[in-house]
Amino acid sequence: MSNLNRDWSQAFVDIALAPDAPLEKTLRALESAAAELRADSAWSQALVDGPRILGVQNFDRNATTVRLQIRTLPNHQDEISRELRRRIHVEFQRQGIPVSIVQRLELAGTLPSAQAAKTSETTN
pLDDT digits (tens, 9 = 90+) for 34-82: 999 999 999 999 999 999 999 999 999 889 999 999 999 999 999 999 9
Contact 84, 66 (CB under 8 A): no
Cβ of 60: how many Cβ atoms within 10 Å? 9
Cα–Cα distance between 37 and 88 in angstroms, integer? 10
Structural domain harbouring 59: 9-104
- Domain-located, residue 3: no
- Domain-located, residue 112: no
Tens digits of residue pLDDT in 69-87: 999 999 999 999 999 999 9
For residue 114, pLDDT over 60 is answered with no
Question: Which CATH number characterizes residue 81's domain?
Answer: 3.30.70.100
- Domain-located, residue 99: yes
Nearest to 74 by CA among 7, 3, 2, 13: 7
- Domain-located, residue 111: no
What is the domain count for the chain?
A: 1
User: Can you give the pLDDT at residue 1?
Assistant: 43
Cα–Cα distance between 14 and 20 in angstroms, integer? 17
Query: What DSSP assignment string belongs to 15-65?
Result: EEEPTTS-HHHHHHHHHHHHHHHHH-HHHHTTEEEEEEEEEEEEE-SS-EE
